[in-house]
Structure 1
Amino acid sequence: MEGDADALGLLFDRHSDAVFRYCLSRTGSWHDAEELVSVTFLEAWRQRSSLTLQRDSLLPWLLGVATNAARNNARSVRRYEQFLDRLPHTQYVPDHATAAAERIDTERQVQDLLAATKALTDGERDVLLLCVMNGYSYEDTAASLGIRVGTVRSRANRAKKKLRAAAPHLLADTLENPTSLESRLS
């Protein structure tokens, strides 16, 4: 049992930054990204006895868990907001007093990018976020999402074309140099 905790600690040390950047690029919220990282590694702990390596790394599996956790979180938030809309009181306003200026700027940049991805399908958005904005290989993305590499390539190309047409000012630097966004998110 103690060895399992040590192994999870090493797994967290090795991959938490990558999972965090991916979650931040999905949600646009520093806080939500931290929560999704927690959920992802809690799931790794829960399934520790049945985990198997894919291509010498658990990162693809972790990113797949993070993808599902982000979708579940978005669905929960949507339901909660729908519930609040039915109540006869004012709309919830988040407290931004504790957020640092740099985090707010980064969140705004990611939110602008997420707004530009509204026209994409879920599959195109997942591939874009993993490959283009977070710099993962097509193979790792395919393993994370449980799809073929050819599907990843076609979704990435479609997503890039749609985004270049919809928001070229947001993507000019990111699509040509994905690490620029990665460095802003770390």
Structure 2
Amino acid sequence: MRARVRAGDRAAFEQIFVEYSKVVYRYAVRLTGDWSEAEDVVSLTFLEAWRLRKKVHPEGESLQPWLLGIATNVLRNRRRKARRHRDALTRLPRTESVPDFADELLARIVDTERLSTTRAALLRLSPAEREVFVLYVWEGLSHAAVAEALGVRPGTVRARLSRARGRLRKLTEDERQHESGSGQVPGNRGFAARSIEEKKR
């Protein structure tokens, strides 16, 4: 398959799209919290994969780390563009506010709230920690595969993962203290608890 991809075999690309597009989509949703943006990321990832096909290493097993590495770069580029766009908007003169009718679109509110809660917890991590956490814990890649996807050493993956888990544990402890003082139920306890459970893998 790697040889066929390197050779630009279109049937091979159709095959890896069928096999991995859902994986890339799921990864993008978890990092962006936006289904529509995730669809764009999938398209851009496979366009980039076609452009970079000759850079596929000739040896190896699954192409998943390679594709998720491309998806990670696509997401990083989109974050940079979004940040530049926000910066540009802040320099524009203020205008009268326009009514926002987005609240009318609540058909998927339950899933949206769950995704938002999870993303809120992830956003407390640095981008590098967030990428490692999602690839290792949710996508199930090995340390070596995560390292391949991100272009870093396995030791770097372990260090980032350890920091991410430590910060999520602290968030859980802080929320429990807040709950005991206010009686409120924390929103992302399940997410953080899962991260701790994954440490036992």
TM superposition score normalised by structure 2:
0.74
- Asked if the contact 1:133–1:175 (Cα under 8 Å) also holds between the matched residues in 2, the reply is no
Q: Considering only CA atoms, is the larger Rg found in Structure 1 or Structure 2? A: 2
How many residues end up aligned between the 2 structures?
176
2:157 paired residue number:
152
Match of 2:15 in 1: 10
Specify every segment of 5 or more residues in structure 1 that has no aligned partner in the other structure, as ranges: 179-186
Task: Give how far 1:93 is off.
Answer: 5.2
Query: CA RMSD, aligned part only?
Result: 2.9
Greater alpha carbon shift after TM alignment, 151-160 vs 86-95: 86-95
Task: Supply the distance in 2 between the matched residues of 1:126 and 1:29 (Cα, whole angstroms).
Answer: 16
1:63 equivalent to 2:68? Answer yes
* Distance in 1 (alpha carbons) for counterparts of 2:90 and 2:99: 10
Alignment deviations for residues 69-107 of structure 1 (CA, whole Å, 9 cap, x no partner): 111111212222233333323379584766751xx4334
Higher relative contact order (Cα pairs below 8 Å, separated by 6+ residues): 1
CA distance in 2, matches of 1:116, 1:69: 22
Residue by residue, what CA displacement relative to the aligned partner does 1:40-90 show, whole Å, maximum 9, x if unpaired? 000112223443356312211111111111111112122222333333233
* C-alpha separation in 2, matches of 1:166 and 1:177: 16
Whether the aligned pair in 2 keeps the contact of 1:54 and 1:60 (CA below 8 Å) is no
- Ranges in structure 2 where 5+ consecutive residues have no aligned partner: 1-7, 174-188
Structure 2: distance between partners of 1:96 and 1:66: 30
TM normalised by structure 1 equals: 0.80
Identity %: 39
- Pick the aligned partner of 1:75 from 72, 80, 85: 80
Residue type of the alignment partner of 1:166: L
User: d(CA) in 1 for partners of 2:128 and 2:10?
Assistant: 34
* Per-residue deviation, residues 110-166 of structure 1 (Å, max 9, x unmatched): 332232233423321111111113222212111101112122122112111111111
Separation in structure 2 between the aligned mates of residue 111 and residue 177 of structure 1, nearest angstrom: 21
Report what 1:111 is aligned to: 116
Residues 133, 174 of structure 1: 8 Å contact kept: no
Q: Which moved more, 1:116-125 or 1:135-144?
A: 116-125
